[in-house]
Amino acid sequence: MSLPMNGSIRSRLTRRRVPVVVVSGVQEGAMLSASISLQFGLPDAVSVRHAIDPERQVLTRVVSDVTGVIEREEINLAHTCVSCAIREDIVPTLERLAAQGRWSSIIACLPIAAEAVQVCRVVTWAPRNAPHVAIAAVVTALDGAWVAQDLLGEDLLDERGLATSVDDRRGVAEVASAMVEYADAVCLTSEPDPDELALIAALARPRIPVVTDPSLLDAVGLVAGVHRHQAVEAWVAEVRRGALPPLAKSGVWRLDLCSDRPFHPSRFQDELAILGGGPRRSRGCFWLPTRPDAVCVWDGAGGQASVGTTQKWGRETPLTRITVHGLDDDHEGHAAIAEAFARCLLTDEELATRGRCWEESWDGLEPWLGPIEHVA
């Protein structure tokens, strides 16, 4: 027999979930500035900061509040990657602190270059792992003097000493751009060039706040709960079918390259350098006639690009769509990207003579996509 839940019981259950503001970034100073500003605005909060040392295979955790440092611990990790750290200590620590009921909110400063999306997905998709935790907001903190370099530059994390594991070969721009795209608020240490602000606005979800001084962060407003998981996931999804919001007038440009046709596997490999080259941010999805069931993912930034697969198309109509943003004024380069995209697509003759699915056992993309699992 079930009983209706009255308002008072609902209220008590709601209060058991402690709001967490997650701070991510690629520069320690910017992240600390944002975290300190949040703590000033939330005197009843507890702050948790994690740092990864991949060479020592150590995760350091520091917990503090207005009274000072409460705990500091080093944890040996068998595999010092972000996923391991989140699974083994970050989310469990948030749950442990929330369950104590001592603080009204939690500020979680993630390891440098660790993306908040992983924490949010664990908390949202596996709520039993953290029943006392609610993600209230995700703040991406960037250095105002490094916006273009961090979002479009060619540096690798390990070149800056920021790798989260010994085999972390991600680009800074790949990580930082994804953080901006996932953020509920972006906090800069100083005001950048107007076009760089426009770039942040182009990558971020529409209407999220961008502050150019950490002291301007609305800590109370963020902890009240602005994170809408489904809306965020829709914005960062590999497959996007709706219209994109218009760009504000600035030096930022965008190409929205879209087709219902698949890429030709060989021509796609030939055009990789043009599609993924230069100081640009690009992401999206594509499909291949050799792998008609697989959703293939494109993720590029700062002259580097990665491809992979996620889920299956299932009943959804396959789509090839790559969105490219940039700040450079190389109009010939922009046109070259669009032309390269068009060359990758199957031609009318190829569609007519071979159909939309090719019976091949090898297409040359195995190093990135794995072996062909299904031939239609």
- For 259-290, the pLDDT digits (tens) are 999 999 999 999 999 999 999 999 999 999 99
Question: For residue range 54-88, what is the model confidence (pLDDT) as tens digits?
Answer: 888 889 999 999 999 999 999 887 766 777 788 88
Q: What is the mean pLDDT of the chain?
A: 91
Say what percent of the chain tops pLDDT 90. 80
CATH number for the domain harbouring residue 268: 3.30.1220.10
Same domain, 273 and 205: no
Task: For residue 168, name the pLDDT band (cuts at 50, 70, 90).
Answer: confident
CA dihedral 104, 109, 115, 121 (to 10 degrees): -20
More confident position, 352 or 323: 323
Would residue 7 count as lying in a domain?
Answer: no
Query: Facing residues of 48 across strands?
Result: 63, 108
Please tell me the distance from the alpha carbon of residue 102 to that of residue 107, in angstroms, as a whole number.
14
Same domain, 71 and 218: yes
Would residue 81 count as lying in a domain?
Answer: yes
Final residue of a domain: which of 170, 205, 236?
236
Task: For residue 13, name the pLDDT band (cuts at 50, 70, 90).
Answer: very low
Please tell me the distance from the alpha carbon of residue 166 to that of residue 79, in angstroms, as a whole number.
9
Same domain, 106 and 214: yes
Final residue of a domain: which of 211, 236, 261?
236
Residue 289 sits at φ, ψ, to 5 deg, of: -65, -20
Give the CA distances from residue 137 to residues 10, 140, 172, 184, 309, in Å, rounded to whole numbers and listed in that order: 22, 10, 23, 6, 29
Task: For residue 167, name the pLDDT band (cuts at 50, 70, 90).
Answer: confident
Give the CA distances from residue 296 to residues 263, 282, 284, 309, in Å, rounded to whole numbers and listed in that order: 10, 14, 9, 4
Same domain, 272 and 218: no
Same domain, 148 and 264: no
The vertex-214 CA angle with 254 and 120, nearest 5°, equals 65
Is the pLDDT confidence value at 374 over 60?
no
Give the total number of structural domains in the chain: 2
Would residue 6 count as lying in a domain?
Answer: no
CATH number for the domain harbouring residue 95: 3.40.50.300
Query: Helix axis angle, 116-125 relative to 229-236, nearest 10°?
Result: 130
Would residue 274 count as lying in a domain?
Answer: yes
Task: Give the domain range for residue 134.
Answer: 16-236
Same domain, 152 and 23: yes
Same domain, 58 and 128: yes
The vertex-119 CA angle with 117 and 124, nearest 5°, equals 90
Tracing tokens 């195995």 back to the chain, one arrives at 366
Is the pLDDT confidence value at 139 over 90?
yes
Burial class for 171, CB neighbours closer than 10 Å (0-12, 13-18, 19+): buried
Q: Which residues contact 110 (CB under 8 A, 6 or more apart)?
A: 22, 23, 24, 50, 90, 116, 119
Mean pLDDT within 42-53: 95
Same domain, 213 and 97: yes
Same domain, 216 and 258: no
Is the pLDDT confidence value at 257 over 50?
yes
Same domain, 352 and 312: yes
Same domain, 149 and 196: yes
CA dihedral 38, 41, 43, 44 (to 10 degrees): -80
The whole-number pLDDT of residue 1 equals 38
Mean pLDDT within 223-244: 96
Mean pLDDT within 235-250: 95
SS3 22: strand
Report yes or no: 152 and 326 within 8 Å, Cβ to Cβ.
Answer: yes
Same domain, 264 and 315: yes
Give the CA distances from residue 167 to residues 103, 153, 217, 225, 309, in Å, rounded to whole numbers and listed in that order: 37, 20, 35, 36, 20
Report yes or no: 214 and 291 within 8 Å, Cβ to Cβ.
Answer: no
Would residue 243 count as lying in a domain?
Answer: no
H or E segment to which residue 96 belongs: helix 91-100
Final residue of a domain: which of 236, 263, 288?
236
Would residue 1 count as lying in a domain?
Answer: no
Tokens of 251: 């030096």
Would residue 170 count as lying in a domain?
Answer: yes
SS3 265: helix
Question: For residue range 110-134, what is the model confidence (pLDDT) as tens digits?
Answer: 999 999 999 999 999 888 989 999 9
Would residue 376 count as lying in a domain?
Answer: no
The whole-number pLDDT of residue 209 equals 97
